[in-house]
């Protein structure tokens, strides 16, 4: 039988298919140059070390690693994570403030579960990470978008938003941000703005969720520290992942939060999966302990920097006048604006069918549904020659619409 709509919970109507996931299906079928998705290059996966860690884990600690684990995660891994974060300038007073996640995406769903009641105000970057929008949307918040420029969220604009919300007696629950090499734009919040953001969070009493998958994948030296390391009041919850520095297939991330929030997280996670795979956690533990990750970073940075430069050069050569794009100092994405009369959701159809290329139309990253003439371009996954060829074809497809 086909299950009638009336059987489903009403909130499922808030779910919609992610365009990125849909596009990944095309990539899987092959024959398309894809700037969609946000996949690392498989050349960066330390396969041999992963094989060794798994073999060692099963033969030496099989009883423990093939068993259920604690919801918080392996103690060995959490203490390595403490060192890792401290190396990044983040003070961790207690390993129990860390929970290992089955991908940082699980953390995003957990934020929705533990923070958002229907109608709560949640502040999001314009544009924001799509899978965070979708994870939060299920809990039906009121999203308010924050304007950005090349230095991240514009603080004067944030302050006006906060004043306006206050005048309407609306309380902000949290602000979600990817402050370093943002997904989807690649931009980085400046140091001055980081300081101001923390001041405003204190003044207007809201929490900050700092999602930080990319701050170790930098192509230029920068002097910005994680928001969490500057947080004197405990307003920032820090989320990160092994996906871009080790392998996304392991589905491993972590969250650092205050003890009270951690208690709620643990309860929420129990309902989701009881625990993250202990065996896979062991791989991450070994990779941190033996500095596999730390040493692999220079390879990742070198490879992606070359790809980023190739894409920037190709954009300069092949994109028509009236287009602009970001120049990210790290991360995996370039964000582009095409002339306003070109709708990138319509353009993508031609691109896939006629030109054999894919990107992510930008509109769905904007909680106010603006950005109809924008696109996100990933440069970590495609090969060098695909970057040149794909941007060339994309330039032609845009010109055809003008």
Ligand X SMILES: Cc1ncc(COP(=O)(O)O)c(C=O)c1O
Site residues, ligand X (CB under 6 A): 38, 103-105, 129, 178, 183, 211, 213, 241, 243, 248, 253
Q: Are 253 and 241 in contact (CB under 8 A)?
A: yes
**How big is the chain by its Cα radius of gyration, in Å?**
21
- CA gap 321, 338 in Å, rounded: 9
Shortest distance in whole angstroms from residue 318 CB to ligand X: 26
- CA gap 223, 60 in Å, rounded: 42
- Residue 182 CB: number of other CB atoms within 10 A? 26
Shortest distance in whole angstroms from residue 105 CB to ligand X: 3
Shortest distance in whole angstroms from residue 192 CB to ligand X: 23
Shortest distance in whole angstroms from residue 143 CB to ligand X: 16
Smaller CB separation from ligand X, 129 or 206: 129
Smaller CB separation from ligand X, 111 or 318: 111
Q: What is the 3-state secondary structure (H, E, C) of 159-214?
A: HHHHHHHHHCCCCEEEEEECCCCCCCCCCCCCHHHHHHHHHHHHHHCCEEEEECCC
Smaller CB separation from ligand X, 214 or 319: 214
Shortest distance in whole angstroms from residue 229 CB to ligand X: 18
Shortest distance in whole angstroms from residue 59 CB to ligand X: 28
122, two tokens: 């949640």
Smaller CB separation from ligand X, 58 or 297: 297
Shortest distance in whole angstroms from residue 206 CB to ligand X: 20
Q: What is the 3-state secondary structure (H, E, C) of 364-401?
A: HHCCCCCCCCEEEEECCCCCHHHHHHHHHHHHHHHHHH
Strands 148-149, 152-153: pairing kind: antiparallel
Q: How far is CA 312 from CA 259, 309, 342, in A?
A: 44, 5, 21
Sign of CA dihedral 155, 159, 160, 165: positive
- Cis peptide bond prior to 127, omega within 30° of 0: yes
Shortest distance in whole angstroms from residue 250 CB to ligand X: 9
- CA gap 304, 311 in Å, rounded: 10
Shortest distance in whole angstroms from residue 344 CB to ligand X: 20
Smaller CB separation from ligand X, 38 or 145: 38
129, two tokens: 């990470």
Q: How far is CA 96 from CA 64, 155, 273, in A?
A: 20, 34, 19
Q: Are 111 and 138 in contact (CB under 8 A)?
A: no
Smaller CB separation from ligand X, 72 or 241: 241
Smaller CB separation from ligand X, 112 or 213: 213
DSSP state of 43: G
Smaller CB separation from ligand X, 158 or 178: 178
Smaller CB separation from ligand X, 90 or 397: 90
Shortest distance in whole angstroms from residue 248 CB to ligand X: 5
Helix (H, G, I), strand (E, B) or coil at 335: strand
Q: Are 36 and 24 in contact (CB under 8 A)?
A: yes
Smaller CB separation from ligand X, 43 or 66: 43
265, two tokens: 């997280």
């Amino acid at each position: 039988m086909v299950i009638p709509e009336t059987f489903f919970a009403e909130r499922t109507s808030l779910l919609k298919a992610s365009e990125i996931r849909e596009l990944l299906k095309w990539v899987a079928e092959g024959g398309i140059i894809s700037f969609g998705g946000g996949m690392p290059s498989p050349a960066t996966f330390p396969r041999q070390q992963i094989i060794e860690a798994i073999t060692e884990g099963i033969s030496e600690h099989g009883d423990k690693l093939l068993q259920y684990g604690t919801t918080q995660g392996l103690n060995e891994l959490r203490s390595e994570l403490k060192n890792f974060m401290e190396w990044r300038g983040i003070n961790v007073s207690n390993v129990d403030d860390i929970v290992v996640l089955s991908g940082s995406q699980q953390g995003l769903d957990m934020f929705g579960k533990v923070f958002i009641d229907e109608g709560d105000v949640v502040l999001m970057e314009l544009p924001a990470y799509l899978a965070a929008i979708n994870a939060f949307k299920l809990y039906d918040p009121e999203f308010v978008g924050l304007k950005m420029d090349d230095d991240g969220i514009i603080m004067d604009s944030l302050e006006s938003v906060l004043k306006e919300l206050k005048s309407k007696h609306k309380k902000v629950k949290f602000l979600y941000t990817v402050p370093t090499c943002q997904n989807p734009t690649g931009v980085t919040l400046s140091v001055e703005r980081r300081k101001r953001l923390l001041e405003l969070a204190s003044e207007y009493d809201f929490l900050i969720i700092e999602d930080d998958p990319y701050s170790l994948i930098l192509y230029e030296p920068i002097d910005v520290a994680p928001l969490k390391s500057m947080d004197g009041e405990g307003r920032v919850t820090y989320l990160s992942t092994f996906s871009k520095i080790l392998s996304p297939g392991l589905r491993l991330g972590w969250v650092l939060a205050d003890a009270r929030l951690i208690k709620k997280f643990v309860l929420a996670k129990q309902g989701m999966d009881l625990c993250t795979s202990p065996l896979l956690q062991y791989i991450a533990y070994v990779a941190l302990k033996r500095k596999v990750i730390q040493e692999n970073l220079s390879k990742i940075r070198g490879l992606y920097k070359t790809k980023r430069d190739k894409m920037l050069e190709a954009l300069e050569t092949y994109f028509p006048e009236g287009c602009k794009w970001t120049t990210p100092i790290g991360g995996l994405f370039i964000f582009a604006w095409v002339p306003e009369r070109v709708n990138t959701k319509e353009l993508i159809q031609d691109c896939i069918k006629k030109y054999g290329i894919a990107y992510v139309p930008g509109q769905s990253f904007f909680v106010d549904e603006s950005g109809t003439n924008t696109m996100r371009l990933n440069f970590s996954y495609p090969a060098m020659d695909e970057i040149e060829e794909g941007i060339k074809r994309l330039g032609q497809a845009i010109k055809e619409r003008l």
